[in-house]
């Protein structure tokens, strides 16, 4: 009986810590937001920083963490039976933003966050923003795999991603 009670208490403490990892007033978005709100996983919660504005949608994409698969067309990955998930959501008008995506199981994945400002299915170099977990400047090229890798645990793995937009000759954060 004591072990069961201790297990419940441990679970409650873990849930409290996951739920309270969110900034006050943050809005969790995406089709999988309920998982992160409840502290259930495996899932990845991205705390979005440095948005240019609140136009359009956020897209969070999950890829296999391999050089050949990262940023490959989703149709190709799905046809090959490989991991690919995308969650999309309109941006809230104000406040902090968190977007959540379910992962198939704990493990190593690559993630890409896109601010789809013009709401097209193709990335617009001139207006859309992008971000990866490493938060290193993306410069003029696509993000490298090592910039996008994240190790997802059995619960909710939280990472902050700073958005980057075209400035001058490459992508960088606004601040």
CB 164 within 8 A of CB 131: yes
Peptide bond preceding 143: is omega within 30 degrees of 0, i.e. cis? no
Which CA distances in Å does 113 have to 67, 68, 99?
18, 19, 9
- What's the pLDDT tens digit per position in 99-150? 999 999 999 999 999 999 988 888 888 899 999 999 999 988 899 999 999 9
- What's the pLDDT tens digit per position in 58-74? 999 999 999 999 999 99
CB 145 within 8 A of CB 66: yes
**pTM exceeding 0.85:** no
């Amino acid at each position: 009986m004591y072990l069961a009670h201790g297990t419940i208490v441990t679970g409650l403490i873990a849930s409290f810590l996951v739920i309270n990892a969110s900034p006050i007033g943050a809005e969790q978005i995406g089709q999988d937001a309920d998982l992160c709100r409840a502290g259930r996983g495996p899932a990845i919660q991205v705390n979005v920083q440095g948005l240019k504005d609140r136009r359009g949608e956020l897209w969070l994409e999950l890829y296999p963490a391999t050089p050949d698969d990262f940023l490959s067309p989703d149709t190709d990955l799905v046809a090959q039976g490989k991991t690919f998930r995308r969650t999309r959501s309109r941006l809230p008008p104000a406040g902090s933003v968190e977007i959540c995506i379910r992962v198939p199981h704990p493990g190593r994945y690559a993630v890409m966050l896109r601010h789809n400002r013009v709401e097209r299915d193709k990335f617009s170099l001139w207006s859309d923003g992008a971000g990866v977990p490493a938060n290193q400047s993306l410069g003029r090229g696509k993000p490298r795999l090592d910039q996008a890798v994240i190790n997802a645990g059995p619960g909710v793995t939280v990472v902050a991603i700073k958005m980057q937009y075209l400035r001058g000759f490459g992508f960088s954060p606004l601040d």
